[in-house]
Structure 1
Amino acid sequence: MDGARLTRRGVLAAGLAVGTASLLPGPERADRFVRTGAEGPPLTEGAPAPYIVNCPSWGARRPSSPVKIWDRRPIRILVHHTATPNVGDQSRGAGDRLARAIQNYHMNHNGWLDSGQHFTISRGGVVLEGRSLSLGVLNEGRRQVEGAHCTGQNVVAIGIENEGTYTGVDPTPALWNSLRATCAYICSRYGIAPTELYGHRDYKNTACPGDRLYRMLPRLRAEVGATLGRRVSRTEAEKASWPLLRLGDSGPDVTAAQYLLRDAGATTTEPTGRFDEGTADAVRTFQVAHRAEDVNGILGGESWPELARTVSRGPGRNGGDAWRAVDTLAEHRRVESVPDRVTAPTWQRLLGTGGTAVRPVTDPPGTARR
C-alpha cells in the first residue's frame, strides 16, 4: 500500500504442469497442516523453519468462501509494506492485532474471502500466517494457496506484508531478521532461487514496498542465499527493474517518459523534465487506454513495459518521440553505442535500472483477485 492511502491491501491507521486448483474448506482444516518452527526441526535442510503464528492462534475469522489451492509451486516471493504507522509496540499482541485489522479490511472493505497476503511480519518481527491454509501448504512444499496481494502474481508468487511505511526509514532489525528467515524457509520449501525476491512495484504502479525497503532487496537476496548456503553475487542480486516516477520527480528519466507518453498519444505537451500534474494526467490517460489495474498517475512496473515500446532507429513511427527518449537517456548516461532496435532490456539499462533479467511469468488465465 502506498503512503497513507488505503488501497486493495490497506489496513486500519490444466493438470499439474500448468497448475490446477482445488477448493478446501476453511480454517477447520488448517490444523491438519500447520506446524510451526517451535514444534520440531525444519522440514528440509538449509533453512530452519521460523516460528509462524497460524490463523487460529491470532484469532482469524473463517474465510467467507473456500480457499483455492493450486497444484503447482510458486516461483517467486513479493515483498510488500502495509504503509501504516511505524509503531513502537513490537509485542506479540501488536502482531495479532495487525493481522486481524488486515483481515477485517480485506474482507469487509475489499470484499475478499480472506486476507490477501500469505504471510505478515510485524514491526517486532512476529511472523503470522495471513491467508488461511498458507502455512500448512507451505510446509507441505508442493502446492500454492491463491492469494490476493498482486494481480497477475497471486498464484506464481508468495506475498509477504511487512508492517510499517518504508519510504524514508529502514525496517526494524527484528522485522528484517524475520523477513530474511521467512524468505529463506519459503525458498527452501518450494525450491525458489534466493534471487527471485521482488518488490510489489516491480509488477504494479505503486510505491510499495517503500523506497528504502525496495533498495534493500539486493541485500535481502544475498542474505537469503547465505542462509541457504548459496553465494549470490552482486550481479545476481541486482535485478532489472523500472524506475518509479511520480509527482515532484524531475530529470532525464521524466523527460524520456514524457516523450514516450507523447509517442503513445497520451499528451501533446512538450517535455519539460518535471513530473507535474499534467504529466500525471497523461500517465492516467495512458493507464486507462491500457487497462491498468491502478489508474493513479504513478509510472511503475505495470505501465513501463507497455510505454517503453520496442523502437527502431528511423523516421516516423519507428523513431520520432520514442527515439528522442532514447537519445535523451543515452546522452545523460553517456552511452556511446545504442542498438538500432531498442527493446525492454536496453530501455532498462538506459534508465539506469538494468540488472539480471526478470522472469516474466504470470498467473494462469482466469485467476482472479479475491
Structure 2
Amino acid sequence: MAEVVTWTSGGAIVGRFEVTRRGFLTGGLALAGTAVLGATVGAGTAWAFDGPPITDCAGWGARPNSAVVPIWNQRPVKILVHHTATPNVTDYSQGAAFALARSIQNFHMDTRGWLDTGQHFTISRGGDVMEGRHRSLEVLRIGQRQVEGAHCTGQNIVSVGIENEGTYIDTDPTDALWTSLRTTCAYICSQYGIAPTELYGHRDFKNTACPGDRLYGMLPRLRREVAGLLGKNVEGGATQKASWPLLRPGDVGVDVQAAQYLLRDHGMTEVVPHGRYDAATADAVVAFEQATGAEDVGMLGGETWPVLARTVRSSERSEAGKAVETLAARRNAESVPDVVTRPDWQRLLGTGGSPADTSVDPVGPPR
C-alpha cells in the first residue's frame, strides 16, 4: 500500500509524492529556487528515500558565515529535534519562512556570537524546509561527512539538528510542519544510515523544555512513521527510548522527592525531601549544575540526571538509597536490583525504554 505525501508552500501545492511500501518516492514538483534532493544513498544504507524540497542558504537570503564551517570526516548517528520557542504564527507563506531563517541566523551570529546558524535545518509552520548552517545540504547529499553544528553541546558532530518553528509546550505542530519533519528525518536517515529509532529531543541531552512537551511526546510516533516511510519494521517498544523526566519549579510528586534525596546525597543538605520543586530546590539544582558544568537553568533534565543519579546499592543507608526506596515504593510490584545503574533509575522514574544512544562529541564551545 502506498501513501500520498503532499508539500505546500504559501497555501499552494508544489509537490505530490507517492511513498511506496519500499520507501521510495515517486512524483514531482515545481518550486523555483528550491533544491529537490535526489536519492543518492550514503554508504552502508539499506534503503533510499528522496527528501522534501529544501531551500539552501542562498535561497532564503542568508548572510555569509563569519568563519570556516568545520566539516568532520564521519557520519552523524542520530537526529535531534528542537522547537524555535517563537510564536505559533498563522502566516504560513514561504516569505515568512525565509524571514524566520534570517532572524534565527542574526540571533545566533549577533547575540550568541556563533559563526553561522546553529542548527542544520529549519522547518516552518507552513512546512517549508530550509538549510540552516551553510554546507549542511551539500554534505547531506553526499551522505559521508558531518557539518559541525551548534544546536546542542556534546551532540554537534554526532547528530543532525532540526529546528521546528513554534512553541510546542501545550500545542501540537501543524500538519504541514509534521509532514515535512518526518520526510526530512526519513531522508537524513537514508543518507547517513541512521536507524529511524535514533530520533531524540533536545531535552534528552540538555536541561531544557525544548522541543516542548507536546512535540517531545510525539517522538515515538515520529520514529514509527519515519520507519514506515523507509519500509523498516521496528518493534513497538523500540520507538520508546529511555530518557529522563524533566522537572521544573512548581512540579510535585515522587520524582521530585527522589531528586531532592539525590541532591542531598551530593552534599546539598539544605534541600528538604518533601516532593515539592520549591525555590530552595531550584537554587540547589542551579548550584549543582554550575558545579558540574551543566546548563544552569533551574530545570532538571537530560544533562543533569545522569550525573545526579549515581550508581548505588539499593540496600545502602544513604540519601541515594532513600531515593531508590521512594521510587520503588511507587512501583511496588517490581523488583529492584541490588545495584541500581542508569537504566534502573530510568525504569524506576517511569521513563525507561529501549537504550538511547549516549555517544557525544568532543566538548568545546559552540561555533
Task: Sort the TM-score into its range (normalised by shorter chain).
Answer: 0.7 to 0.9
Gaps of 5+ in 2: 1-32, 42-46
Shift of 1:37: 1.4
CA distance in 2, matches of 1:194, 1:228: 8
- Identify the range of structure 1 (71-80 vs 306-315) with the bigger mean alpha-carbon deviation: 306-315
C-alpha contact 2:314 2:325 (8 A) present in aligned 1: no
One-letter amino acid of the counterpart of residue 190, structure 2: S
List aligned pairs for 1:341-352, cutoff 5 A: 341-352=339-350
List aligned pairs for 1:129-168, cutoff 5 A: 129-168=131-170
> Which residue of 340, 352, 355 corresponds with 2:353?
355
> Which residue of 321, 328, 331 corresponds with 1:330?
328
CA distance in 2, matches of 1:350, 1:135: 41
Q: Which residue of 1 aligns with 2:17?
A: none
- Identify the range of structure 1 (319-328 vs 139-148) with the bigger mean alpha-carbon deviation: 319-328
C-alpha contact 2:168 2:213 (8 A) present in aligned 1: yes
C-alpha contact 1:222 1:233 (8 A) present in aligned 2: no
> Which residue of 264, 272, 279 corresponds with 1:277?
279
CA distance in 1, matches of 2:123, 2:327: 39
Shift of 1:369: 0.9
Name the Cα RMSD after superposition.
1.4
TM-aligned CA distance change 1:211 to 1:228, over 3 Å? same
Shift of 1:74: 0.2
- Identify the range of structure 1 (68-77 vs 45-54) with the bigger mean alpha-carbon deviation: 45-54
Q: TM-score normalised to the size of structure 1?
A: 0.87
CA distance in 1, matches of 2:336, 2:39: 50
One-letter amino acid of the counterpart of residue 300, structure 2: L
C-alpha contact 1:103 1:114 (8 A) present in aligned 2: yes
C-alpha contact 1:70 1:143 (8 A) present in aligned 2: yes
One-letter amino acid of the counterpart of residue 213, structure 2: D
After superposition, the C-alpha distances for 1:287-307 in whole angstroms (9 at most, x for unaligned) are 111111x11110000000000
Q: Which residue of 1 aligns with 2:21?
A: none
Shift of 1:88: 0.2
Q: TM-score normalised to the size of structure 2?
A: 0.88
Q: Which residue of 1 aligns with 2:221?
A: 219
One-letter amino acid of the counterpart of residue 307, structure 1: L
C-alpha contact 2:314 2:336 (8 A) present in aligned 1: no
CA distance in 2, matches of 1:115, 1:190: 22
List aligned pairs for 1:194-213, cutoff 5 A: 194-213=196-215
> Which residue of 77, 84, 87 corresponds with 2:86?
84
TM-aligned CA distance change 1:366 to 1:250, over 3 Å? closer
CA distance in 2, matches of 1:181, 1:356: 23
Shift of 1:115: 0.1
C-alpha contact 1:46 1:229 (8 A) present in aligned 2: no
Q: Which residue of 2 aligns with 1:369?
A: 366
CA distance in 2, matches of 1:368, 1:289: 18
Q: Which residue of 1 aligns with 2:62?
A: 60
Shift of 1:360: 1.4
Gaps of 5+ in 1: 1-33
In the alignment of these two chains, the number of paired residues is: 330
Q: Which residue of 2 aligns with 1:36?
A: 35
One-letter amino acid of the counterpart of residue 81, structure 2: V
C-alpha contact 2:34 2:55 (8 A) present in aligned 1: no
List aligned pairs for 1:97-246, cutoff 5 A: 97-246=99-248
TM-aligned CA distance change 1:35 to 1:127, over 3 Å? closer
One-letter amino acid of the counterpart of residue 354, structure 1: G
After superposition, the C-alpha distances for 1:219-244 in whole angstroms (9 at most, x for unaligned) are 00000000100022210000000000
